A = this chain, B = another copy of it.
Amino acid sequence: MKFKAEIDVMPMEALLDPQGKAVTLAMSTIGLSEIQGVRIGRHIRLFVEADSMENATQKVDQACKQMLANQIMESYEFSIEVA
Q: Which residues of A contact B (CB under 8 A)?
A: 6, 8-10, 20, 23-24, 26-27, 30, 32, 34-50, 59-60, 62-63, 66-68
Residues on the B chain within 8 Å of A24, using CB: 46
Minimum C-beta distance from A16 to chain B (A): 15
Q: How far is the CB of A83 from chain B (nearest CB, A)?
A: 9
Partner of A67, one of B30, B44, B68: B30
Secondary structure dominating the interface of A: strand
Are A42 and B44 touching (Cβ within 8 A)? no
- A39 lies within 8 A of B46 (CB): yes
Q: Do B34 and A44 have beta carbons less than 8 Å apart?
A: no
Does the CB pair A46–B36 fall under 8 Å?
A: yes
